[in-house]
Amino acid sequence: MQQEITFFQRDVLKEKPDTASLGFGKYYSDYMFVMDYHVENGWHDPRIIPYAPLTLDPAAMVFHYGQAIFEGLKAYKSADGTIQLFRPEKNMKRLNDSCDRLCIPQIDESFLLSAIKQLIFTEKDWIPDGEGTSLYIRPFIFSTEPYLGVRPANQYKLLVILSPSGAYYGDQLSPVKIYVEEQYVRAVIGGVGHVKTSGNYAASMKAQEKAEANGFAQILWLDAKENKYVEEVGSMNIFFKINGEVVTPKLNGSILPGVTRDSVIELLKYWNIPVHEAKISIEEIFAAHERGELEVFGAGTAAVISPVGELNWNERSITINDNKIGQLSQRIYEEITGIQIGKKADPFNWTVKV
């Protein structure tokens, strides 16, 4: 499916935002990548066109039955101007895993990656180079066929948009307050929690709203069956350092297999720090805190490494590491971001040049 990508020039370029005021996901670059699927001719018509609103039929199946999936990755500019991506092949693979789960036709992973590189190259001036900034890349696919019967659609659109971004949470290394949710659940085994469907995020909003109203940045989800075992946080995976060893919930079919999660595990192994993927209960976490042994951080593409300063569960609240970033979280943050922006050696060959 190696097709030629058509380029449509825009007349006037947008003004770029000030790096200091970026925040996350508020600004979009000049161009986007688009490709269509029809059951009769497969994925076709790849093009880079001016970023603009779309026109869709009100009966487009995505509005009714929610076949929509997405990915998130970032492009970084290193000090010498090299542009690099971080393990993008993992995002391409996960996009296809999400497609598979929602009966969306598979994409050609290497073609999409080359299209993303072409888009990034076109938009290289949109990659911010301030500390902690990057160009967030959002590929997504949704069903467009106008039809109201329930079945997988015969038509889809794949888009990639770009958003120059800074920290996901206000201040990257300031610890966040997290609420352990017991009333609502995120995902069940056999459901869609292990893939990146838009519906997972829609289902999380009620609890997120409740948490925010009570002063918390995010939700920590427990397993849907026993309401006992830790799963993940709203926008990231979670890690606990307990008495010198690191533990993160084992992928069980309802947890998202994060690229940053995998990178943290690989890094810890490389440093000979014991790391386990295990079933871990919220009770054990609170007990570890009582023994004075706990450090907690989240890991995600948007969130990077985000220290957790407070956990609130069942009306009990614990302050972790004096509400300061822990030593290990800081070390991992520096190593991963150092590799991403080309400041540190990349012994794992994680970075891919554009």
CA-CA distances (angstroms) from residue 160 to 32, 134, 338? 6, 16, 26
What's 173's DSSP letter? T
**Shorter beta-carbon distance to ligand COI: residue 301 or 340:** 301
What's 69's DSSP letter? E
Measured distance CA(200)–CA(198) in Å, rounded: 5
In the complex, what is the shortest distance from the CB of residue 158 to ligand COI, in angstroms, rounded to a whole number? 17
Residue 14-53 contact track with ligand COI, rule CB under 6 A, x = bound: ----------------------------------------
Residues facing 276 on adjacent strands: 247
CA 79 to chain centre: 25
Listed in sequence order, the residues at least 6 apart from 41 whose beta carbon sits closer than 8 Å to its beta carbon are none
Task: State the number of binding residues for ligand COI (CB under 6 A).
Answer: 6
| Residues 223-242, interacting with ligand COI (CB under 6 A) | 235
In the complex, what is the shortest distance from the CB of residue 197 to ligand COI, in angstroms, rounded to a whole number? 11
Which of 144, 163, 208, 301 is in the footprint of ligand COI by CB under 6 A? 301
Output the 3-class SS for 281-299: EHHHHHHHHHCCCEEEEEE
The amino acid at 275: V
Which of 99, 299, 302, 325 is in the footprint of ligand COI by CB under 6 A? 302
Residue 97, phi then psi, degrees to nearest 5: -65, -40
Using the contact rule CB under 6 A, the part of the chain among 36-44, 80-88, 143-151, 300-308 near ligand COI is: 300-308
By CB under 6 A, residue 300 contacts ligand COI: yes
**Structure-token pair, residue 326:** 């822990």
Using the contact rule CB under 6 A, the part of the chain among 153-161, 171-179, 297-305, 325-333 near ligand COI is: 297-305
- ∠ CA 187-213-22, nearest 5°, is 85
Measured distance CA(123)–CA(330) in Å, rounded: 31
**Shorter beta-carbon distance to ligand COI: residue 147 or 201:** 201
**Shorter beta-carbon distance to ligand COI: residue 33 or 288:** 33
| Residues 171-210, interacting with ligand COI (CB under 6 A) | 201
In the complex, what is the shortest distance from the CB of residue 323 to ligand COI, in angstroms, rounded to a whole number? 24
Interface residues with ligand COI (CB under 6 A)? 72, 201, 235, 300-302
